[in-house]
Amino acid sequence: MEPLFVAQPLLPDLADFQNIVAEVWRTKTLTNGGPFHQRLESELERYLDVPTAMLFNNGTVALMAALKLFDLPAESEVITTPLTFAATAHAVHWNGLKPVFVDVLPDALTIDPAAVQKAITSKTSAILAVHVYGTVCEVDQLQAIADQHGLRLIYDSAHVFGTTINGRSIGSYGDASVFSFHATKLFNTLEGGLISTNKASDKADIYYLRNFGIKSEDEVISVGLNGKMNELQAAFGLLNLPRVPEERRCRSELRQKYEGFLTGLPGIKVQLKQPGVTNAEQYFPIIIDQATYGLSRDDIYDRLKAKGIYARKYFHPICTDFVPYRDYPVHSIRNTPYVNTVKSQVLCLPFHSGVTDRHVAEIKDVFNKAA
Ligand code: T4K
């Protein structure tokens, strides 16, 4: 059997992409907001149903720019989760701000609002919450906390492209939302990212942050980055966007197949179902409790790997295990932060349209033997 990976990129039809490449060769417009970029940006504004959707060259740079947008005081504290990809914490650090890590909620694995409350100090300036694995944060509670303390609320939405909560776009929550269009994401532009906000008036500021702060040939008005997406990325995205619903449908079916044999297995928890939330179908995480199940997460990971099935232990090690953040505590309402337990229990199974029934049977076999 060919190796099976946790992710497989969504690809446009090659001939369609070749035609678009030929068009780029003809116009010689490679970057700096060309026609493909402009089209993709307006299509995403519609798709995400937000007044402001601004493309970036990747999700990490978009996160850095989103934090910069609010002029947070130097060295102030940004409360975030340690159960995320390193980029979330790094973006805080690159802005000269201090990440303050707090615990996650059992089952949901998103940032715990009670732990956020507890971690707020006079130096706190923002909350950077992550809709991890596609499970959405406690958006109402977080907004109430942010309002009460005058904090900015920014969402890392890398895992929730196209999610809605009771019909409202995930990209419209908080002060800003940041998406990743990396190859491993449901919607990809090779590499790419986006900032969305609920205010049309943010457009100009985000534009300057993305393009060196250049206002005109003679004027630079802010300390901007080079966060621009190029024309080949944008064209790739334009061809991929219409393919997202079908990919999402395949993943939804796959979710049902996985849940068919995992739900009810003692010691295994599948992803939380959130009423009113449309799941983006980005990841399929499970939590394996060795004491009840008999085998550990790492045992299952190894057994799958022996069959050429590469599940991933996202996001273990967690941020506070990484060298730059090793001295940072995890604030919690518990004596032992829940995240320190669950980090050794989460496993993301291969989750994309390339997973066949044969693969599912192989994976089921591993779990059944273990049970
Ligand atoms: N915030 C959050 C919450 C995120 O999850 C991420 C990114 C970001 C921020 C930052 O956004 P970006 O700056 O990346 O836009 C991957 C991705 O590189 C990373 O984008 C993603 N999160 C993270 C969760 O996963 P790795 O180290 O797991 O990537 P890699 O190369 O091991 O890929 C996983 C599997 O996917 C491979 O085994 C095979 C398959 N694959 C991968 C690539 C890159 C392909 O089939 N083709 C490919 O081109 O980090």
Between CA 208 and CA 363 the distance in angstroms is 48
- Kindly state whether residues 259 and 237 are assigned to the same domain: no
What CATH number is given to the structural domain containing 258? 3.90.1150.10
- Kindly state whether residues 255 and 345 are assigned to the same domain: yes
Q: What is residue 32's predicted lDDT score, i.e. its pLDDT?
A: 97
Distance between start and end Cα atoms, the chain: 24
Q: What is residue 165's predicted lDDT score, i.e. its pLDDT?
A: 98
- Region 139-159 average pLDDT: 98
- Kindly state whether residues 196 and 277 are assigned to the same domain: no
| Mean per-residue pLDDT of the chain | 97
Q: What is residue 164's predicted lDDT score, i.e. its pLDDT?
A: 98
Q: What is residue 114's predicted lDDT score, i.e. its pLDDT?
A: 98
User: Is 105 a residue whose pLDDT tops 70?
Assistant: yes
- Kindly state whether residues 140 and 191 are assigned to the same domain: yes
Confirm if 310 and 350 have CB atoms less than 8 A apart. yes
- Kindly state whether residues 269 and 183 are assigned to the same domain: no
Distances (CA, A) of 196 to 85, 134, 207, 237, 329: 20, 17, 12, 17, 31
User: Is 159 a residue whose pLDDT tops 80?
Assistant: yes
Pocket of ligand 1, beta carbon within 6 A: 5-9, 58-60, 84-85, 87-88, 130, 156, 158-159, 180, 182-184, 193, 310, 312, 314
Cβ neighbours of 347 (radius 10 Å): 22
Q: How far is the CA of 67 from the centre of ligand 1 (A)?
A: 22
Last residue of a domain, one of 188, 221, 242: 242
Q: What is the pLDDT of residues 336-351, one digit of tens each?
A: 999 999 999 999 999 9
- Kindly state whether residues 187 and 105 are assigned to the same domain: yes
Q: What is the pLDDT of residues 180-211, one digit of tens each?
A: 999 999 999 999 999 999 999 999 999 999 99
Q: What is residue 1's predicted lDDT score, i.e. its pLDDT?
A: 77
- Kindly state whether residues 205 and 282 are assigned to the same domain: no
Of the residues 184, 194, 312, which should be mutated to test ligand 1's pocket, given the most ligand atoms within 8 Å of the CB?
Answer: 184
Which residues does 248 contact at the CB level (< 8 Å), separation at least 6?
162, 186, 280, 281
User: Is 97 a residue whose pLDDT tops 70?
Assistant: yes
Q: How many domains does the chain have?
A: 2
Q: What is the pLDDT of residues 285-327, one digit of tens each?
A: 999 999 999 999 999 999 999 999 999 999 999 999 999 999 9
**Residue 151, domain extent:** 5-242
Q: Atom 45 of ligand 1 has which residue's CA nearest to it?
A: 8
What CATH number is given to the structural domain containing 111? 3.40.640.10
Shortest-distance atom of ligand 1 to CA 180: 15
pTM passes above 0.75: yes
Nearest to 43 by CA among 290, 260, 235: 235
Shortest-distance atom of ligand 1 to CA 61: 13
Q: Atom 40 of ligand 1 has which residue's CA nearest to it?
A: 7
pLDDT band at residue 370 using 50, 70 and 90 as cut-offs: confident
Q: What is residue 369's predicted lDDT score, i.e. its pLDDT?
A: 79
Last residue of a domain, one of 209, 242, 275: 242
pLDDT band at residue 155 using 50, 70 and 90 as cut-offs: very high
Last residue of a domain, one of 196, 219, 242: 242
- Kindly state whether residues 227 and 255 are assigned to the same domain: no
- Kindly state whether residues 219 and 269 are assigned to the same domain: no
Q: Atom 11 of ligand 1 has which residue's CA nearest to it?
A: 59
Q: Atom 38 of ligand 1 has which residue's CA nearest to it?
A: 5
Shortest-distance atom of ligand 1 to CA 182: 15
Distances (CA, A) of 201 to 4, 229, 328: 45, 21, 36
Q: Which two tokens stand for residue 52?
A: 């402001």
Nearest to 33 by CA among 25, 21, 44, 41: 41
Q: What is residue 290's predicted lDDT score, i.e. its pLDDT?
A: 97
Q: What is the pLDDT of residues 217-272, one digit of tens each?
A: 999 999 999 999 999 999 999 999 999 999 999 999 999 999 999 998 999 999 99
Q: How far is the CA of 88 from the centre of ligand 1 (A)?
A: 13
Of the residues 83, 85, 301, which should be mutated to test ligand 1's pocket, given the most ligand atoms within 8 Å of the CB?
Answer: 85
Nearest to 210 by CA among 52, 365, 65, 46: 65
User: Is 371 a residue whose pLDDT tops 80?
Assistant: no
- Kindly state whether residues 193 and 257 are assigned to the same domain: no
Between CA 190 and CA 232 the distance in angstroms is 9
Between CA 120 and CA 137 the distance in angstroms is 18
Cβ neighbours of 246 (radius 10 Å): 11
Shortest-distance atom of ligand 1 to CA 312: 28
Q: Atom 5 of ligand 1 has which residue's CA nearest to it?
A: 85
- Region 87-98 average pLDDT: 98
- Kindly state whether residues 163 and 279 are assigned to the same domain: no
- Kindly state whether residues 46 and 56 are assigned to the same domain: yes
